[in-house]
Amino acid sequence: MSVVDFARFVDELATQSGQAILPFFRAAFATEDKAKGAAAFDPVTEADRAGEAVMRQLIKRSFPDHGILGEEFGSEHEDAEYVWVLDPIDGTRGFIAGLPIWGTLIGLTRGGVPCYGLMNQPFTGERFFGDGEAAHYKGPHGSRRLRTRRKGDIAEAILHTTDPRLFGEGTNRQAYDRVERAVRLSRYGADCYAYAMLAAGHIDLVVEAELKPYDIVAMIPVIEGAGGIVTTWEGESAAKGGRIVAAGDKRLHEAALALLNG
């Protein structure tokens, strides 16, 4: 397929999944706990499953040789050269609380390397997308190129994490606390929307732990295309998830790594 066709296809994935998900937002729907009694509540809804099912159907019809890795329905042909990595609702906790700080993550890897990503927020009508070389925004107020904020001093940085309690009470939490004490401002609870705000130049750092590939793959080309950097705490590829740190500036990333591994 040509570049134009590909762009249209990804837009269609976003549009169709959004149409499947939105009827459930701020409405009555069933919620299950995937953690099944574990300490951390890990919700899944009918909307999650409906959104992923639509995307899988479209991908299989247009790219039958591609693999798929999704949060709700697992993996198919994960050894394929191209693999779609899907999270229909990243931020389900916010979704069930009626908060618009969630998004649909659509990522594509080639040979295991993220090469394209899109975050769609259908309620606000915003899309953030990139290919590692450039990143863009489309929304109610028009379109623009995404660029991270160049801020190298960690004492002036804005930090985000989904919830400090997700780090547990051990060394991961201690490492995160070192970073939080060093920054100017920290905020919680936005899930994938925080990465979008980092790419847009509003947040400087995002630090997380225990992420799955479908939580981060789509945002890697967006952040990198906007001029940022995202790795594991060890400074390695974030494509497989794990403990993740994203920064809008290389100097800030290095400072955060030093504190995380202190």
Q: Say if residues 146 and 200 touch (Cβ distance below 8 Å).
A: yes
| Residue 144 structure tokens | 């623009």
Identity at 172, one-letter amino acid code: N
Helix H or strand E encompassing 219? helix 219-225
The answer to whether 89 is annotated as binding is yes
3-state helix, strand, coil in the chain (%, to 5): 35, 30, 35
Q: Is 79 known to sit in a ligand binding site?
A: no
Residue 5 marked ligand-binding: no
Q: Is 90 annotated as a binding residue?
A: yes
Report how far residue 160's alpha carbon sits from residue 188's, in angstroms, rounded to the nearest whole number: 6
Residue with tokens 């050894």: 79
Tell me how far apart the alpha carbons of residues 4 and 28 are, in angstroms, rounded to a whole number.
Answer: 38
Binding-site residues from annotation:
71, 87, 89-90, 215
> What residues form the annotated binding site for Mg(2+)?
71, 87, 89-90, 215
